[in-house]
Structure 1
């Protein structure tokens, strides 16, 4: 079984926490990955704005519709080249770690960023220097997570220094903590040249560091002009059934986030999930 989760900002027409709760329930889903600034752009959600009352109020409103925050998003460029900006971003993430429990979240999530100011693909991210810089930052954030009793969920991707299964293993060796987990998105680690091997890659990931995988993103895709383009789950090339079986085998009831699947397509994806689980 899988614990299907949606990103709050994949639901349109949401102007309030009440709207978010109702739209999530309408799709038959009970778990959210919540990015405050993306779901509620008019609500201040910086490092100094989070507070226990905010978390408790959002948690209470969502619970009215049997919805909860599983993952609190704080996606930042944690290796931003401007050290003053970087410090502000890291302090924001640390604030999210301190306050996540009031929202009911089990982890705070981020990717690892980019050596450039804007996150994008560059082979400069693949250097040992960029990796070492990233490790130092994650070590700091994990320490803050340990102090707050909150998991730090790190998502690898080709646009980041954490760009391969090998680099993930190196990170986990360098930062050994029960409070560091991996949010695994197989579509973030494939290209137009190797997407046919997606299932084998997922199997390798669970074999090599499955004990550290704390959530999975399922992002369907198509290949267009040699690029991986996200689409709603069930409309692309991801081998959903095979990957779902691997997740269920290794991490039953794990959070599985339907990233880039939007609005009423979420309900259809949930039916796809249920149908997959019903097959022997």
Structure 2
């Protein structure tokens, strides 16, 4: 399991500068969200990608020893405005079509939120139809879709994501697992149960994973911090990853540039201990 990083943790930069910065920081792979990480091309609408641009970007990253393990998108999959929803689907499909030229095996996404968190059955219907449509495109291009559950999103729990996988069966849909996204004020005291349930339900579907940490503050809130700086049971997380998906790519989140080296070392050392326990 190699530890990569969200490209946009280095800021929004011209892609040549971004590639050099990531390579110099010692990361060999990234999750690349084009419209969050790249400043010299406007990717906010579908239609800007071309084979020449994508191959040029991929080559620039390779010059610095960096590959794209995940294309990230941060798009809303059940938007109640049909025009916005259609645009989001077209943007996602464009990433699917060009993923192989980036060298990326998957395009990943959370499902989206509404500001007031008031979800309705129609939202679930639209979500399932959207995922089905995107899966059909992914099947044409031999690319995986990586779905991620996140607290507060329509798909906010491991059980909800498992239900979606059952309702939209496709060999081209996998799971990007992030236990940090599943932990909140209501369940962090029983986090081992939450983490184990996630692996029980989703372990065989994992195609990538994320690394952040969660920490309870003095006033009882649960906040997100860099890996190793919080209260999450990383030894359990790493042991279960080793059991279910050895060598799966891990993408580090949340860390500042100053924290990255120490956080990467923490993940690697915790994982190494997990491997010893499995031997």
| TM-score w.r.t. length of structure 2 | 0.91
More off after superposition, 15-24 vs 207-216:
15-24
Secondary structure of residue in 1 paired with 2:53 = helix
CA distance in 2, matches of 1:97, 1:266: 29
1:178 aligns with 2:176: no
Deviations 1:42-79 (A, max 9, x none): 41223110111121111111111111000011111111
2:254 maps to which residue?
260
2:85 maps to which residue?
86
From 24, 33, 53, the counterpart of 2:31 = 33
Deviations 1:232-256 (A, max 9, x none): 2121112222211211221111111
Deviations 1:127-171 (A, max 9, x none): 433222211111111111111211111111122221222211211
CA distance in 1, matches of 2:167, 2:13: 42
From 30, 37, 41, the counterpart of 1:43 = 41
CA distance in 2, matches of 1:89, 1:277: 36
Residue 202 (structure 1) shift: 2.0
Residue 226 (structure 1) shift: 4.2
Ranges in structure 1 where 5+ consecutive residues have no aligned partner? none
From 7, 14, 17, the counterpart of 1:19 = 17
User: Which has the higher relative contact order, 1 or 2, with Cα contacts under 8 A spaced 6 or more apart?
Assistant: 1
2:200 maps to which residue?
207
2:75 maps to which residue?
76
Matches for 1:212-231 after TM superposition, within 5 Å = 212-224=205-217, 225-231=219-225
Residue 121 (structure 1) shift: 5.4
Kept after mapping to 1: 8 A contact 2:159/2:201 = no
CA distance in 1, matches of 2:228, 2:41: 33
Kept after mapping to 1: 8 A contact 2:174/2:206 = yes
CA distance in 2, matches of 1:104, 1:15: 21
CA distance in 2, matches of 1:39, 1:47: 16
Kept after mapping to 2: 8 A contact 1:27/1:264 = no
1:56 maps to which residue?
55
From 270, 274, 280, the counterpart of 2:268 = 274
1:164 maps to which residue?
157
Cα RMSD over matched residues?
Answer: 1.7
1:235 maps to which residue?
229
Secondary structure of residue in 1 paired with 2:259 = helix
Kept after mapping to 2: 8 A contact 1:131/1:162 = no
After the TM superposition, which segments of 4 or more aligned residues of structure 1 sit over 4 Å from their partners?
none
1:246 maps to which residue?
240
2:95 maps to which residue?
96
Kept after mapping to 2: 8 A contact 1:47/1:96 = no
From 121, 125, 129, the counterpart of 1:132 = 125
Change (3 A) 1:278 1:143: closer
CA distance in 2, matches of 1:208, 1:90: 27
Deviations 1:111-138 (A, max 9, x none): 1113x3xxx451x22x433222211111
Secondary structure of residue in 2 paired with 1:264 = coil
